[in-house]
Amino acid sequence: MKKLFYLMVAIAVLGIIVSGCIAPLKSVVPTSEKGDPKPELVTPTLEKITFIHYAKDSDHTKPVWDDTVDIYKFMFGGIKWADTMQYEVNTAGSGGSGTNLDHDAVMIALSASLETWDTETPFELFDDELKETTEGFNSGDRKNRVTWGVLPWENAIAMCRFWFNPATKEIVESDVVFSTDFIWSLEGEDSKMDLQNIATHEFGHNGLNDLYMSPSIELTMYGYSDYDETYKRDLGTGDKLGIQKLYGE
């Protein structure tokens, strides 16, 4: 009888062990010691920044400054891209007032503006290849897009809008919109806005802030531009120092 009793107990214990092994696993959310979800599992709260680039006749006579000025300013504590980014481009309306500039020439001008910044740092800030798109401006879609359209601010040449993670200081989206209220040019023509000039300024916002003090008037990141202006195509001392401070020399 004792042997039969022990055998029945052994079978019962074995049944418990086996049933425990084949029981379905439950999903468990990792928690911290306090029982709260780990920070990396929480969707980050993103913040938005909008830069407006205005047209203004720059007075270069009082005083006279040049592009050797070493001024630069970071965006909100040094936010920047964590990896190489790529722009999608929709060239519709690129000439302004319902006209289009030559599509290929626009892509070349924009690529030149991007390369102007990339050559100053070993970090590959921009993808060499621009993607074509028929999509318009759509802030918050996690896509980086260059488009033309009507801007709601009087005398605004262009707008650059960012979304970034304030916790990590990483930019997650960048969009540039050039105003169709202005006539655009690829050759620095009179009474027209030069695309490469304005684009180089806008692409500098991938880490750098606008400058408004008078000594910075000849720098690419100076916050105002004028018709047939082309000096922003080339970076000044402050522009170079700023981008190298963020991404390396």
Intervals of the chain under pLDDT 50:
2-7, 9-35
Q: Which two tokens stand for residue 201?
A: 């300024």
Query: What pLDDT score does 2 carry?
Result: 45
Query: What pLDDT score does 44 carry?
Result: 74
| 200 neighbors 220 (Cβ within 8 angstroms) | yes
Query: What pLDDT score does 77 carry?
Result: 84
Query: What pLDDT score does 21 carry?
Result: 34
Query: What pLDDT score does 63 carry?
Result: 73
**Which domains, from first to last, does the chain contain?**
47-247 (3.40.390.10)
Query: What pLDDT score does 238 carry?
Result: 98
Q: Which two tokens stand for residue 30?
A: 């990792």
Query: What pLDDT score does 128 carry?
Result: 83
| End-to-end CA gap in the chain | 87
57 backbone dihedrals φ, ψ, rounded to 5°? -70, 115
The structure tokens 């390396």 sit at 248
